[in-house]
């Protein structure tokens, strides 16, 4: 079976002017199954910097499959969360999906399943999301080869079941304030928080309202029953506006 898979890969090379060696054994280990149409996976693991062209001179890379895989991953993760957390509301599931599909998490998952050894092309630190992007492209390839059910099985069995504890993840709170401050330092932007209101709620409860400014431009508003929580919520809103999360 592995030998025949390698032969199929080799036959696909004829359409590519600058062939790149593949590793069918590693690929099958990553996928958990033998592909029907291996050329989809070849393309999924082909970074644009490899400068590969077909016999018509058209550039080949994984960016279109990445686009497809991104949408599919969102759908599959939504499907999984809907059934795993039957009592949770839309806001909770949206937050969980965001945690699962964020760039940093996809990069880590890609490394854990061994994609760095399979991605073809120059993968320098200039683009730290090369492998996470390749994972999305791989999901797109699985969909084209195996359909939605095969795509869902891969995400559930090869990614989530092995490397993600959904219940534990649900209990972790992301530090949006630290993330915003770190982003500001990297982008040379000044981050400033302002407490704009303290609203008594009866007893000892106080609702805090905070704003965050990026280079003195109001970028987020947050509310919470602690000053820290209000700043966290303001930071989260700012990060979304900045397209960082």
Please write the tens of the pLDDT for every residue from 205-214: 899 999 999 9
Domain ranges, ordered by start, for the chain: 2-171, 176-241
Largest interatomic CA distance in the chain: 76
Chain segment 35-76, per-residue pLDDT in tens? 999 999 999 998 888 778 777 778 888 999 999 999 999 999
Work out the average pLDDT over 89-107. Answer: 86
Chain segment 123-133, per-residue pLDDT in tens? 555 566 889 99
- Helix 103-113 vs helix 130-153: angle between axes, to the nearest 10 degrees? 80
CA dist., res. 158 & res. 24, Å (int): 17
Burial 165-184 (b: 16+ CB within 10 A, else e): eeeeebeeebebbebbbebb
3-state DSSP assignment of residue 205: strand
3-state DSSP assignment of residue 147: helix
Alpha carbon 224 to its chain's center: 28
CA dist., res. 114 & res. 125, Å (int): 18
3-state DSSP assignment of residue 198: strand
Check 22, 66, 136, 231 and give the catalytic one. Answer: 136
Check 22, 61, 66, 70 and give the catalytic one. Answer: 70
Give the fold, CATH level 3, of 176-241. Double Stranded RNA Binding Domain (3.30.160)
| Band of pLDDT at residue 89, cut at 50, 70 and 90 | confident
The pLDDT of residue 160 is: 95
DSSP secondary structure letters along 155-175:
IIIIIIHHH--HHHHHH----
The pLDDT of residue 212 is: 96
The pLDDT of residue 15 is: 40
| Band of pLDDT at residue 198, cut at 50, 70 and 90 | very high
The pLDDT of residue 171 is: 79
Residues paired with residue 43 on neighbouring β-strands, in sequence order = none
User: Catalytic annotation on 136?
Assistant: yes
As a whole-number percent, the residues of the chain with pLDDT over 90 amount to: 53
Beta strands 59-60 and 52-53 are antiparallel
Q: What is the pTM of this model?
A: 0.67
Cβ pair 232, 220 in contact under 8 A: no
Mean pLDDT of the chain: 85
Work out the average pLDDT over 198-226. Answer: 92
CATH code of the domain occupying 2-171: 1.10.1520.10
Position 136 pLDDT exceeds 70: yes
Cβ pair 44, 141 in contact under 8 A: yes
User: Catalytic annotation on 79?
Assistant: no
Lowest mean pLDDT of 28-42, 87-101, 178-192, 203-217, name the range.
87-101
């Amino acid at each position: 079976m592995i030998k025949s898979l390698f032969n199929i890969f080799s036959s696909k090379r004829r359409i590519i002017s600058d062939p790149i060696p593949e590793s069918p054994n590693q690929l099958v280990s990553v996928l958990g199954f033998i592909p029907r149409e291996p050329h989809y996976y070849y393309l999924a693991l082909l970074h644009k910097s490899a400068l590969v062209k077909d016999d018509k001179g058209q550039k080949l890379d994984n960016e279109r499959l990445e686009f497809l895989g991104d949408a599919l991953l969102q759908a599959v993760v939504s499907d999984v969360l809907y059934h795993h957390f039957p009592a949770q509301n839309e806001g909770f599931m949206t937050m969980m999906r965001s945690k699962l599909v964020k760039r940093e998490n996809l990069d880590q998952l890609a490394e854990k399943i061994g994609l760095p050894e399979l991605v073809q092309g120059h993968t320098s630190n200039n683009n730290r999301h090369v492998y996470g992007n390749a994972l999305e492209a791989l999901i797109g390839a699985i969909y084209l080869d195996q359909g939605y059910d095969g795509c869902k099985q891969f995400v559930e069995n090869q990614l989530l079941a092995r490397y993600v504890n959904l219940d534990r993840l649900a209990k972790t709170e992301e530090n949006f304030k630290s993330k915003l401050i770190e982003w500001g330092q990297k982008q040379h932007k000044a981050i400033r928080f302002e407490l704009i209101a303290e609203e008594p709620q009866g007893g000892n409860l106080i609702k805090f309202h905070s704003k965050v400014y990026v280079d003195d431009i109001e970028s987020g508003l947050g509310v919470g029953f602690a000053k820290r929580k209000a700043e966290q919520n303001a930071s989260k809103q700012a990060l979304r506006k900045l397209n960082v999360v």
